């Protein structure tokens, strides 16, 4: 069978907006940007170097971002009530020439906008709304007017436009209007400079009288926050009236709403880490902007590492939940200012991990990462952080997220798509962008769904230079990408080829639920030299998540990284050759049941010991190996054990509270070895467990109350009462110190209510543990579970190590616990040789078997 596509184009009418695609964990939609700071010439420019050199420096920065698959730039255009652009309102920035108000000989913002768009990147104008000075007394006529007319608010060396004045709001609106009207910027954003940090909130404050005269019923602090909120709303409203496609965001301090009182105003949980200094420090309330939907995105400056006290790993998911609640997007800002030319991949990995965490924390599938600042990404050698990110988490280009709350513009499919040499050209439309794809010449065009691994990039032009590696053996697609981010139907440029037959699938059956290990199997196709197995989340294959190519008609599930345990996925097979269009099989649903850890949940914190790991066994009775390690490489596991039941208890003496552990399971069945997912968890400081007696068992004369030793504990407190609810002064209490883990007195000498324990009477015991933190401070756990026991004067039953009145496998485990933890008592000396060791385990097993 032969298919023909005209030389100029083929239009395939896909329905509506093309869905988000994923390849190898890389999202098709992701905001990837960097801050280019111009204040104090932090990133750019070289002050007074002249237009030619400053342009060349900017070209280097933009080139480095484009090469490393960034798709946006945050260019600081107003840092001190000045301008990096031709303004009719404010003076030229002094950071260009060294003189405020002096023309630099070119328009930096226009140059950056054009440079970004030529490279297929968005340009966002970074504006500081209030800051006028941090110590310099500017003296242009414009500045003199601000001073003379009372526009400014001063605290220490920081001087800002007074947020409490309506004319300040109007001025900021006018500045932003001028920018988006005169320049084709894609966005406007602020950073975290609002009121000066630490400004007084009493009568000594410069704006105190202004608040009193305002007639407001708001408190002084609420009035300040309201001033900021009104400014944010006013600029948003102006943008919607002027150029609604402009993306408007704010990058506040990284922690907000740690107070329950603040969080409850917005119906969210408090931020789980860090300190919210901005709410009453600079009168910034980011949740107010999200709740009012007066911004399009939030970019909190989470400038800490994963696992820090202000934990990136806890703060970022919280922002994801908050932004999703208010139907807005979150693009996390990360600080990379610790990077130096000597930094290596060891330091770089933190930032790749942060990008991955941004992705998993984005609840709407539109993550983002903004790095402060650009100069720390860029280097003249290939060892830069930017290159590392490209080789790990930015391996494919990505499109900026769409804004579904804004009206899109679908002008239609591009016309007259053609190729002139190594350049694609087409007839386009006003005020749109385009996405360009290259996919194998032999790929069946009906399988094209805008997959990320075929995306070459985004362009603002109606032409695209084909990269050298795609100049032969590829066909092309071009889509309209409107200015709010919607991608519309593609036009194709293809060639005439024969088509292979469609593979006929054999197994798994459609809709099957299958235990691992299993194979995908199909019949061979004449002329096919290879087969591509595709895995997707929907039967339309608009979101292909993985492709595996094989030369046989069998593909083991072990070849796939994106199979999900217990979740329905879809698979199909394409027949391939170097000279024909591929054939495409039917689509089948499959639910894989994989070797998967089911407990504890990944990321569990402060688990109580003992921790029992559980996993899905894939229907196998073969023993699986559980490994527990201090890191995810499992180079030196702290515990390795085997079980064929799908669960195994981890000895609690091996788990130190406060540490993070990783566990995985390996299983060999049917000659195939499988490894599970990796789960991360930590354990809490908890009270020690009782070894003798056990709950509901006996405590015999001659025995000592014994605890399971905890390596980290400094002391234990043991208490005994004749009531489970009353623990008065007459209870027995002893503090165990210096490695002691059993009571000094034997059972027959213990007194409760000033009376020795009575034969046959029931008593209750509880304990707690104390430990020292890294600073030497003492902390005490809560009491553990209360146990009950019956005191017996008669000698204990031989082999009844735990005092439960029976001799069984529980006593074997009790002796093993004693041996492993070093907390042996003579109750464990079953064979009477004066020691507790493996010989006592064997003696117990002999007693059990002879019974």
* HEC secondary structure over 517-579: CCEEEECCCCCCCEEEEEEECCCCCCCEEEEEEECCCEEEHHHCCCCCCCCCEEEEEEEECCC
Task: Write phi, then psi, for 113 (nearest 5 degrees).
Answer: -60, -50
Q: Are residues 488 and 507 in the same domain?
A: no
Is residue 662 domain-shared with residue 788, that is, in the same domain?
Answer: no
Contact 587, 622 (CB under 8 A): no
9 with 105, same domain: the answer is no
671 in a structural domain:
yes
Please report which residue ranges of 467-546 form alpha helices under DSSP H. none
* DSSP E strand boundaries for 92-193: 122-127, 131-133, 152-155, 158-161, 187-190
Q: Looking at the domain assignment, is residue 689 inside a domain? A: no
Q: State whether 581 and 622 are in the same domain.
A: no
Helix, strand, coil shares of the chain, percent, nearest 5, are 25, 30, 50
Residue 524 lies in a domain: yes
Residues in CB range of 117: below 8 A, 6 or more apart: 123, 184, 460, 461
What are the tokens at 603? Answer: 């990321």
51 shares its domain with 172: yes
Residues 124 and 149 in one domain: yes
Positions in the chain whose pLDDT score sits under 50 = 1-24, 380
> In this structure, what token pair is assigned to residue 317?
């998911």
Question: Residue 517 maps to which CATH number?
Answer: 2.60.40.10
Assess whether 176 and 213 both reside in one domain: yes
Q: What is the pLDDT at residue 845? A: 85
Handedness of CA 693, 699, 700, 701 (dihedral sign): positive
pTM of the entire predicted model: 0.73
How crowded is residue 395: how many other Cβ atoms within 10 Å of its Cβ?
15
For residue 402, being part of any structural domain is answered with no
Model pLDDT for residues 371-411, shown as the tens digit of each residue: 999 999 976 455 799 999 999 999 999 999 999 999 999 99
**Half-sphere exposure of residue 74: CA atoms within 13 angstroms, side-chain side:** 29
DSSP string, 248-306: EEE--BS----SHHHHHHTT-PPPSSS---HHHHT---HHHHHHHT-SSEE--B--S-T
- Local structure of 230: helix, strand or coil: helix
DSSP lists the bridge partners of residue 815 as: none
Last residue of a domain, one of 494, 510, 536: 494
| pLDDT value of residue 496 | 78
From 357, 392, 427, the end of a domain falls on 392
| 652 and 770 assigned to the same domain | no
**Alpha carbons 567 and 593: distance in angstroms, whole number:** 8
Answer whether residue 38 is part of any domain: yes
Residues 570 and 469 in one domain: no
Query: Are both 546 and 606 inside the same structural domain?
Result: no
The answer to whether residues 630 and 762 belong to one domain is no
Do 197 and 244 lie in one domain? The reply is: yes
| Residue carrying structure tokens 């060294």 | 98
Say if 398 falls within a structural domain: no
User: Do the domain assignments include residue 783?
Assistant: yes
Say which CATH number the domain at 160 has.
3.20.20.80
Q: Which residue has the tokens 């071009």?
A: 478
3-class state of residue 8 by DSSP: coil
What is the β-pairing status of strands 72-78 and 31-36? Answer: parallel
Choose one of 626, 650, 683: the last residue of a domain.
683
CA distance 3 to 17: 26
Would residue 672 count as lying in a domain? yes
Range of the domain at 412: 2-15+407-494
Number of structural domains in the chain: 5
CB 36 within 8 A of CB 374: yes
């Amino acid at each position: 069978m032969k298919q023909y596509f005209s030389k100029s184009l083929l239009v395939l009418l896909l329905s509506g907006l093309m869905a988000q695609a994923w390849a190898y964990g890389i999202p098709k939609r992701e905001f990837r940007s960097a801050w280019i700071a111009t204040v104090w010439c932090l990133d750019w420019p070289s002050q007074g170097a002249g237009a030619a050199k400053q342009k060349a420096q900017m070209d280097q920065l933009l080139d480095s971002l484009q090469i490393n698959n960034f798709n946006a730039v945050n260019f600081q255009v107003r840092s001190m009530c000045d301008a990096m652009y031709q303004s009719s309102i404010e003076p030229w920035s002094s950071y260009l020439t060294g003189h405020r108000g002096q023309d630099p000989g070119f328009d930096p913002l226009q140059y950056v906008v054009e440079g970004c768009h030529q490279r297929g990147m968005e340009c966002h104008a970074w504006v500081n709304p209030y800051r006028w000075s941090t110590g310099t007394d500017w003296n242009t006529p414009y500045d003199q007017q601000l001073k003379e007319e009372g526009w400014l608010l001063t605290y220490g060396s920081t001087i800002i436009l007074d947020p409490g004045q309506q004319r300040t709001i109007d001025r900021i609106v006018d500045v932003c209007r001028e920018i988006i009207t005169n320049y084709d910027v894609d966005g406007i954003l602020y950073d975290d400079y609002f009121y000066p940090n630490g400004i007084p909130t009493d009568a000594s404050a410069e704006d105190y009288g202004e608040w009193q005269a305002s007639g407001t019923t708001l408190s002084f602090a609420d009035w300040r926050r309201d001033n900021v909120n009104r400014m944010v709303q006013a600029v948003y409203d102006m943008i919607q009236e002027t150029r609604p496609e402009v993306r408007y965001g704010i990058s506040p301090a990284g922690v907000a709403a740690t107070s329950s009182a603040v969080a409850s105003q917005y119906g969210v949980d408090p931020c789980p880490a860090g300190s919210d200094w901005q709410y009453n420090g600079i009168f910034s309330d980011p949740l107010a902007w999200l709740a009012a939907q007066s911004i399009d995105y939030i970019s909190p400056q989470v400038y800490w590492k994963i696992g820090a006290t202000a934990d990136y790993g806890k703060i970022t998911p919280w922002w994801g939940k908050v932004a999703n609640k208010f139907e807005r997007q979150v693009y996390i800002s990360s600080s990379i200012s610790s990077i130096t030319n000597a930094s290596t991949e060891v330091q770089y990995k933190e930032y790749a991990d942060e990008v991955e965490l941004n992705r998993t924390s984005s609840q709407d599938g539109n993550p983002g990462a903004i790095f402060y600042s650009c100069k720390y990404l860029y280097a003249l050698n290939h060892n830069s952080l930017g290159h590392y990110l490209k080789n790990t988490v930015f391996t494919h280009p990505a499109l900026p997220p769409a804004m579904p709350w804004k009206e899109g513009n679908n002008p239609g499919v591009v016309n007259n798509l053609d190729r002139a040499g190594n350049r694609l050209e087409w007839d386009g439309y006003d005020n749109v962008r385009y996405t360009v794809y290259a996919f194998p010449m032999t790929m069946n065009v009906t399988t094209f769904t805008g997959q990320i691994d075929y995306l070459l990039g985004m362009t603002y032009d109606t032409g695209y230079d084909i990269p050298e590696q795609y100049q032969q053996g590829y066909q092309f697609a071009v889509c309209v990408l409107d200015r709010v981010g919607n991608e519309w139907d593609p036009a194709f440029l293809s060639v005439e080829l024969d088509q292979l037959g469609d593979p006929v699938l054999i197994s798994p059956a459609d809709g099957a639920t299958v235990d691992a290990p299993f194979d995908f199997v199909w019949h061979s196709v004449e002329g096919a030299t290879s087969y591509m197995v595709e895995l997707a989340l929907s039967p339309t294959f608009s979101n292909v998540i993985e492709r595996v190519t094989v030369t046989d008609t069998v593909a083991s599930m072990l070849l796939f990284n994106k199979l999900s345990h217990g979740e329905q996925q879809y698979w199909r097979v394409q027949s391939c050759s170097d000279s024909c269009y591929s054939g495409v099989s039917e689509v089948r649903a499959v639910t894989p049941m994989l070797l998967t850890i089911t407990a504890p949940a990944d990321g569990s914190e402060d688990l109580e010991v003992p921790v029992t790991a559980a996993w899905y066994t894939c229907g196998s009775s073969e023993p699986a190996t559980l490994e527990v390690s201090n890191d995810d490489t499992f180079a030196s596991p702290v515990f390795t054990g085997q079980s064929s039941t799908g669960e195994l208890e981890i000895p609690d003496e091996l788990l130190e509270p406060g540490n993070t552990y990783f566990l995985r399971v390996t299983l060999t069945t049917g000659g195939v070895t499988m490894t599970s997912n990796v789960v991360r968890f930590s354990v809490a400081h908890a009270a020690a467990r009782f070894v003798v007696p056990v709950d509901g068992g006996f405590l015999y004369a001659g025995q000592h109350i014994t605890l399971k030793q905890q390596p980290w504990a400094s002391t234990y407190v043991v208490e005994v009462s004749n009531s489970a609810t009353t623990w008065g002064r007459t209870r027995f209490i002893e503090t165990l110190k210096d490695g002691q883990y059993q009571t000094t007195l034997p059972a027959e000498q213990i007194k409760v209510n000033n009376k020795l324990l009575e034969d046959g009477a029931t008593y209750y015991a509880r304990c707690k543990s104390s430990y020292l933190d890294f600073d030497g401070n003492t902390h005490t756990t809560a009491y553990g579970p209360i146990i009950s026991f019956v005191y017996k004067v008669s000698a204990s039953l031989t082999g009844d190590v735990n005092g439960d009145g029976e001799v069984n496998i529980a006593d074997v485990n009790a002796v093993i616990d004693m041996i492993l933890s070093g907390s042996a008592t003579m109750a464990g000396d079953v064979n009477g040789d004066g020691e507790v060791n493996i010989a006592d385990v064997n003696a117990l097993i002999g007693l059990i078997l002879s019974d």
